[in-house]
Amino acid sequence: MKTTRTPTRTPSVQDEYFVDILTVVNGAPHQWRVDTRTTLLEALRDTAGLTGTKRGCDQGACGACTVHVDGARVLACLMLAAQVDGRSVTTVEGLADGPGLHPLQEAFVRHDAFQCGFCTPGQLMSAACLVGEGRTGSDADIREFMAGNLCRCGAYDNIVAAIREVAAADRAEGGA
């Protein structure tokens, strides 16, 4: 998981509905002026142009909008953009370290762990945290901790297989 130092500054509020925020997104500093009611999902998609994070249910029930904030998975549709002021955000576009694919992305391809692909960004972001947290002891564990990410196509067996493969490789390399 990438770590970056968030730049510091004194926040300024121009009026009661807008706030200036400074955050690091996928390793790069971003300054946004957003309505205080803007969700992180809206800021990522509409302000930063990062459309990999998907709007599914807009109620926190499907997991399609999962991103990492300071290394923890969050539902971007339920978090206000103002809440990431001074924090680090990683989206699916920043999951890989460099130009290649992240090992989970490669495993999803190998195991055909997607069909329509709409849920895939959220699945990948949750899976990355799951592997990092070491919560992949069994298929039942993987299913339990991925339960907040829905796949309408029903590719769950393949998703579990892809996560299992990456988790086993991570353990073999001395990871979680």
pLDDT in tens, the chain (176 residues): 555 565 555 555 456 789 999 999 999 999 999 999 999 999 999 999 999 999 999 999 999 999 999 999 999 999 999 999 999 999 999 999 989 999 999 999 999 999 999 999 999 999 999 999 999 999 999 999 999 999 999 999 999 999 999 999 988 887 65
- CATH number assigned to the domain covering 18-94: 3.10.20.30
First and final C-alpha spacing in the chain: 12
Predicted confidence at residue 3, as pLDDT, reads 55
Q: Which CATH class is domain 103-171?
A: mainly alpha
> Whose structure tokens read 């549709």?
77
User: What are the boundaries of each domain within the chain?
Assistant: 18-94, 103-171
Predicted confidence at residue 174, as pLDDT, reads 77
Contact status, residue 115 vs residue 155, Cβ threshold 8 Å: yes
Tell me which residue of 117, 23, 13 sits closest to 74, measured CA to CA: 23
Count CB neighbours of 69 within 10 A: 17
Predicted confidence at residue 15, as pLDDT, reads 65
The burial of 55, by beta-carbon neighbours within 10 Å (0-12 exposed, 13-18 middle, 19 or more buried), is given as middle
Predicted confidence at residue 16, as pLDDT, reads 75
DSSP strands (E only) in 72-169: 72-75, 88-90
